[in-house]
Amino acid sequence: MIMSTVKFSSVSKYFGSVCALSQTDLEIRNGEFLTLLGPSGSGKTTLLNICAGYTQPTSGKVLIGDKDITDLPPRLRNMGMVFQSYALFPHLTVKENVSYGLQARKIKPNEISQRVIEILRMMQLEGYENRQIRELSGGQQQRVALARAMVIKPEILLMDEPLGALDRQLRKEVQLEIRRLHLNHPRTTIYVTHDQEEALVMSDRIVVMRQGKIIQSGTGSDLYERPDNTFVARFLGESNLLEGVVSEVTGTVALLDVPGLSKKITGRAAKGLKVGARASALLRPETIQYQSGGIAAVVLETVYLGELIATKLKLSSGHEVWTRRLAGEFNHREGVEVGWDETRVSILPDVSHQQL
Amino acid sequence: MNGRFTLNIFVALVAAFLVFPILAIVPVAFSAQSFIRLPPESWSLRWWGAFFQDASWKLTLVTSLKIATLTTCVSVLAGTAAAFGISRCSPRSRTLLTGLFLGPVMVPTIVLAVAMYSMGRATGMVGTITALVIAHTMLALPFVILNVAVSLDSLDQRFILAASGLGAGSVRIFRTVTFPLVSPGIVGGGIFAFVTSFDEVVLSIFLSGPNVKTLPVRIWEEIRLEYTPVVAVGATLMLLLALIAATMNRISKNK
C-alpha cells in the first residue's frame, strides 16, 4: 500500500516582496478528498502549484509519505493535474491526449490502449477516441481532462477549479460524478475552488483560505455549523451577522450584547473570543423561525426559491435578517414575531476588525 | 443606404486601382502580337512557347526557384532557432535582439545592396548562388522570426505544464507539444521567406552574374532591350507563384 499522504511543512511563497502564501502547514491524509476554498488571491492555487511542482516554494518542504519532493521536477512527481481550462492538447485526439502520460512513461502500446479504453469507459467517453478536442462539449472536455490525469494512476490527483467553465446544471452532475468516482476509488485529492457549494458536495475536508493563509479547516458541517470567525461564516452558506459586544464567556457559551435587542444573544463561543471585544452573532437563515412572544419584525421582501421561500425581515431593533423557510410559513404577513434556535447560534470574532 | 452605396463604390475603385495594373499583365502574356498592347488584338500561346523554348529564360526560372528554396531552408532553420532563443530572453534583451534581427528590413534596400555588393566583390562571391542566398536570407529571416515568435507567444504555457506533469521530459515536450503547435507559424514564415526571395530584385541585380541570374532580374534586363510579351509571361509566372504561396498560407492558418 502506497502511503500517499501529502505534507506541507512551513511552506511559503513570495513573488518579490509580494506574499502569495504565508508560512503554511497542512497534512492531507491518504485517500482524502481535500478542498482548498477561498476567494481569488487567497493562495489556494499557489499551494496547489507547489504540490504539483509548477511553483517552487520560497521556504518549506513538501513531503509525499516521508519522501521530500520539494526539489523534484513535475514530471517525476506522479501527480495527475486537471487544469481550470483543461489544457487538453488541441492538436491531438481524445485517445492521444489520454495516452500522453502513458507514452511518456514508455508503457507498452497494447497496455496503453487497454488502459485508455478502460478509463474512457469509466468516464463514459466510449466512441469518442478519435474525436478532435474542439469537437467536444465542455462537459466532455472536462471528462477527457480527468481521464488524462487519472489514467497514469497518479499518487495524488490535483484539480484547479475544473468545473468553472461548465453551466450550472452540468456542474452539479459532474460534482456528484467526481464524488462517486472518489468514493469508489479513493485517491488522495487536492481540489481548488472558490465555489462553496462545490466544496460542500465533494470534500472530506475543506480548508478555507484567505490572503495567503489558512483560516480554518474541517468537514463541511464543521465549517458551516461551527465557523471560527465571520469570514468563514460569510464564505460558506448564507449568514445573518448581528454585531455587538461580548458580555460574558463561560466555557463554550458566550453572551453577546447587541444594541437594540433587549435580550442578549446566547450562542456557542468561537475560539479566541474575549469579554468586552466586538463580535458578531451568526444566525443562519434556516434557524430563524416564527415564534409567538419573540422579537417583533416586519416582512420587507420575499423571494420564491421553489421549495423554499427567503424572507427579509426587519427586526424591531432595526437589524435586517434573511430567513429561509419551507414555502408558506411567513405568508406575506406584515407583522410577525420571530426567534431562533439558540443551540445553532455562534458568537464569532469579527475578522474585519483584526489583522489576519 | 446612400452612404453605404457610396462606400461600396469607393471600395470597388480602390480595389480596382490596386489590382488592375497587376492583372493587366496576364492578358498580355496570351497575346499574338509581337509587342505589348492592351487589350491584345488576337490571342495565342506563342510567347509561352518562346519562354519555355529559350534555355536562358528557363534557366533563370530554375535559378530563382533554387535560390528561393535554399533561402527558405536556411531562414526557416535559423529563424525558428532564433525565435525560440529570443522567447527565452529577458524582456530587455528580447527587444534588443528583435530590433537587431529586423534591421535588414528597416535599412533601405539599395543601401543593403551596395553593402552586399562591396562585400561580394571583396570575397569574389558576386554572381554566385551562395551570395544571393545569403542576401535573400537577410531579408527573409525577419519574416520567419516574427511568424514563429507570434506562434510561440500565443502558445498556452499550460500545455507545457500539463505535458511535464504527465511525465514528459523537455525533448518529448518539444517534439509532441511545442513543435506541432508552433508549426503553422514556421510554415507561414517559410512561405513568406520563399516569396521574399522569389520576387526580390534590387539585391539580385547587384549580386547576379552572367551565369547566375534570377527571373525578376532577367525580366528587368529584357524589358530594357526588347519590349515583347515574353516579359509578361515571366511576370505571370511570378504572379501564379505568389498566388499559390498565399493560398498555402491560408490553408496552413486554417488547419
Candidates A87, A101, A148; nearest CB to B156: A87
Cell of B255: 488547419
> What is B51-254's CATH number?
1.10.3720.10
Whether A272 shows a pLDDT value over 90: the answer reads: no
ipTM of the complex in this document: 0.80
Angle between helices B230-254 and B2-29 (to 10 degrees): 130
Domain with CATH 2.40.50 in chain A: 230-353
Instruction: Check residue A350 and give its pLDDT.
Output: 80
> Of A287, A239, A288, A265, whose CA–CA distance to A347 is shortest?
A265
**Confidence at A1, pLDDT banded by 50, 70, 90:** very low
Average pLDDT over residues A249-254: 89
Percent of chain A whose predicted confidence (pLDDT) is above 70: 96
Contacts of B169 in chain A (CB under 8 A): 75, 104
Instruction: Check residue B249 and give its pLDDT.
Output: 84
pTM for the structure as a whole: 0.80
Instruction: Check residue A353 and give its pLDDT.
Output: 46
**Confidence at A354, pLDDT banded by 50, 70, 90:** very low
Candidates B167, B176, B181; nearest CB to A75: B167
Percent of chain A whose predicted confidence (pLDDT) is above 90: 61
Ordered strands of the A18-28 beta sheet:
A18-28, A6-15, A59-64, A67-68
Chain A residues 97-116 with CB within 8 Å of chain B: 100-101, 104-105
Whether A30 shows a pLDDT value over 90: the answer reads: yes
Interface residue B160 vs chain A (CB under 8 A): no
Average pLDDT over residues A132-151: 92
The residue type found at A91 is H
**Confidence at A21, pLDDT banded by 50, 70, 90:** very high
Q: CATH topology for A6-225? A: Rossmann fold (3.40.50)
Interface residue A146 vs chain B (CB under 8 A): no
Instruction: Check residue A246 and give its pLDDT.
Output: 92
Angle between helices B179-198 and B230-254 (to 10 degrees): 170
Whether A132 shows a pLDDT value over 90: the answer reads: yes
Average pLDDT over residues A138-152: 92
Give the whole-angstrom CA distance, residue A271 versus residue A349. Answer: 8
* CB spacing of A87 vs B176 below 8 angstroms: no
pLDDT means per 10 residues in chain B (255 residues)?
A: 84 90 84 78 85 89 95 96 91 89 88 93 91 94 93 91 93 94 93 93 92 90 84 89 88 73
Place of cell 410559513: A329
Three-state SS string over A184-214 comes to HCCCEEEEEECCHHHHHHHCCEEEEEECCEE
Candidates B158, B165, B176; nearest CB to A85: B158
Residue of B nearest to A100 (CA): B166
DSSP β-ladder status, A335-340 and A346-349: unpaired
Interface residue B150 vs chain A (CB under 8 A): no
* CB spacing of A74 vs B161 below 8 angstroms: yes
Residue of A nearest to B162 (CA): A87
Whether A61 shows a pLDDT value over 60: the answer reads: yes
Instruction: Check residue A174 and give its pLDDT.
Output: 86
Residue B39, preceding peptide bond in cis (omega within 30° of 0):
yes
Instruction: Check residue A268 and give its pLDDT.
Output: 92
Give the whole-angstrom CA distance, residue B147 versus residue B134. Answer: 20
Domain with CATH 3.40.50.300 in chain A: 6-225
> What is A230-353's CATH number?
2.40.50
Contacts of A81 in chain B (CB under 8 A): 161-162, 165
**CA distances to A92, A170, A177, A186, B251 from A173, in Å:** 27, 5, 6, 19, 40
Instruction: Check residue B42 and give its pLDDT.
Output: 82
Neighbouring C-alpha atoms within 13 Å toward the C-beta of B186:
17
Chain A residues 160-219 with CB within 8 Å of chain B: none
Average pLDDT over residues A15-42: 93
Cell of A118: 478502460
Interface residue A79 vs chain B (CB under 8 A): yes
Whether A60 shows a pLDDT value over 90: the answer reads: yes
